[in-house]
Structure 1
């Protein structure tokens, strides 16, 4: 159970959620295996439901619907549950000429709801910025999304947002699409090592979405496990520079351990409390893993961080972030993602076409 000082967050009209949830986009679905350990992940999802989780963040692209089906299995086991689900559209092609072509959005939603044993999605997220040449599919997709919301098949329209490694071009494209789509929720990734991006004039994505009356769904709060004590995975060719950066991470975590304690619970409290403090309109999705890990997420958050604590944490993370910037500006920590042609390792900023 979450502490009482972490109130429900108004993500969208009529959508009030606890600020900590779980997601299937996690580095535990490791590169080099065709599938993760289903039984461990199912047990982790069971633990999340038992702990009172109100949202599971997944995607149709996570092992081509396999993640959705695992979530659906748990929801089917727990009749009468109050769990809601967010999922995505825009990356899986299927047999259509384009992921957003024709009725593709509606058809994918039907498949997603069937996978999940649900009648509606909490948030349906437009994951790709590629709407075809000249954005030919953009207006029809926006119309479809609004119709699905009006019909009660989705409760909120989502749009993938930039993160701390996004280029200025990516951020401009996001702002352009934000005005066109008018989403209810923006999805992004953020943590102590990857802060919420500046979207213009010094305004963070958190402040921007709050000003717009839009909810923020934040994934990867543990930096793919690095802030929970895992060794960072380096990009190919990082070499000595990568080792130096890994050492900087270790030193930063050691400083935090001296102040807050060396236990796993202490590390998680620092990482999760810190990112929860960054935006009052945010729900944070931590990657689902084994039962013991998931139980720890919901049991480690007792006691808010004071202003002095937050200042110390920010100073430590800033030092680590500076040491992790490669000369060409690419991030060191990488994540496992799903690709239509198979599993691949991608940099922290997805190679999303930015068409117009």
Structure 2
């Protein structure tokens, strides 16, 4: 798997990482045996970037990752986590020095680490990006050695553009996929110019871009694709990338003819993301070894043709753009 520079950090990471939300919670039933097997398979195949958060299963995802890494020994992969969603309500005041340190100390224990490689503020309120004291608090935690570097996970392009104005922000995690094209218009170029790493999440639009769903597909009650369809629990853009389910299904049918023989739609969707050099790493989820290895396999696909790229853009313009473009 090809490596890419992780912004100006001096580190490089494999271009396909492991998104560890689904092995924590909110994607239906979690099977720890399958989750650990997926992590082992991915790491055996050369994957070296794992993204998690302190709220994924209330720390379960972090602890599971720590267990796998302890079993394996040797050099640790790049493990990124997030902090901030433990707040009962998202407020600027909640990002106090005391809260930030408490969350980071908890993740240090969960991940059994001496320092956290990357801590991302986990989709804080937009107003937080206009309070430099929050970022100064993160700078102090770097100076004290609790974290190596920090970044942000954002909902909106505008938040990402504001975040990269702070010199300490090493990375921005953002939703980007065939159904969410706006980040590539301006944000990606600005991130490249400033040497900020870009982590792409929700690359398959919560599974819509796997091509495996139909109008009859049913999701478990504890799966966000069931309980957050309209943003009941958190930003609706995190579920199916904010695209109405039936609209997404119809657009997927238009994408199917673009899939080469021997390739899945999910792999095509991941390779499409990697066509932009601003992307440092894409973090699809995997709940079993087959999914993990299929995700990694996307990195080995040849570059997509201009005709394929144009076709994806047309489908977005015609079917998806009115629902998502200016919202995020």
TM-score bin, normalised by smaller chain: 0.7 to 0.9
Structure 1 242/187 Cα, relative in aligned 2: closer, same or farther at 3 Å? closer
Q: What is the deviation of 1:26?
A: 4.2
Query: What is the DSSP-based 3-state SS (H/G/I as helix, E as strand, rest coil) of the residue aligned with 1:121?
Result: coil
Hey, what's the Cα distance between the residues in 2 that align with 1:28 and 1:91?
14
Query: What is the DSSP-based 3-state SS (H/G/I as helix, E as strand, rest coil) of the residue aligned with 1:64?
Result: coil
- Equivalent residues, number: 301
Higher helix share: 2
Superposed, which structure 2 residues align to 1:153-164 within 5 Å? Answer: 153-162=146-155
1:304-336 deviations in whole A, cap 9, x for unaligned?
215xx143234235314532356xx359xxxxx
1:75 counterpart (62, 65, 69): 69
Name 1:247's counterpart in structure 2: 250
Higher strand share: 1
Name 1:15's counterpart in structure 2: 11
Hey, what's the Cα distance between the residues in 1 that align with 2:115 and 2:296?
26
Name 1:274's counterpart in structure 2: 272
Structure 1 174/16 Cα, relative in aligned 2: closer, same or farther at 3 Å? closer
Q: What is the deviation of 1:267?
A: 2.8
Please, which runs of 5 or more residues in structure 1 have no aligned partner?
332-347, 350-356
Hey, what's the Cα distance between the residues in 1 that align with 2:317 and 2:126?
33
Name 2:220's counterpart in structure 1: none
Name 1:194's counterpart in structure 2: 180
Superposed, which structure 2 residues align to 1:296-311 within 5 Å? Answer: 296-306=294-304, 309-311=305-307
Superposed, which structure 2 residues align to 1:228-239 within 5 Å? Answer: 228-231=210-213, 235=229
Q: Which stretch of the first structure deviates more once superposed, 18-27 or 313-322?
A: 313-322
1:145 counterpart (107, 128, 138): 138
2:108 counterpart (109, 113, 116): 113
**TM-score, with structure 1 as normaliser:** 0.73
Q: What is the deviation of 1:81?
A: 3.2
Hey, what's the Cα distance between the residues in 2 that align with 1:94 and 1:244?
33
Name 2:171's counterpart in structure 1: 185
Name 1:339's counterpart in structure 2: none
Name 2:39's counterpart in structure 1: 45
Superposed, which structure 2 residues align to 1:50-65 within 5 Å? Answer: 50-65=44-59
Hey, what's the Cα distance between the residues in 1 that align with 2:311 and 2:129?
44
**Contact 1:124–1:158 (CA under 8 A) maintained in structure 2:** yes
The alignment yields a C-alpha RMSD, in angstroms, of: 3.2
Q: Which stretch of the first structure deviates more once superposed, 63-72 or 242-251?
A: 242-251
Q: What is the deviation of 1:142?
A: 1.9
Q: Structure 1 residue 211 and structure 2 residue 207: aligned?
A: no
Runs of 4+, deviation exceeding 4 Å: 26-31, 131-135, 232-236
Q: What is the deviation of 1:285?
A: 0.9
Q: What is the deviation of 1:124?
A: 0.8
Query: What is the DSSP-based 3-state SS (H/G/I as helix, E as strand, rest coil) of the residue aligned with 2:61?
Result: helix
Query: What is the DSSP-based 3-state SS (H/G/I as helix, E as strand, rest coil) of the residue aligned with 1:318?
Result: helix
**Contact 1:91–1:99 (CA under 8 A) maintained in structure 2:** no
Structure 1 111/44 Cα, relative in aligned 2: closer, same or farther at 3 Å? same
Structure 1 245/115 Cα, relative in aligned 2: closer, same or farther at 3 Å? closer
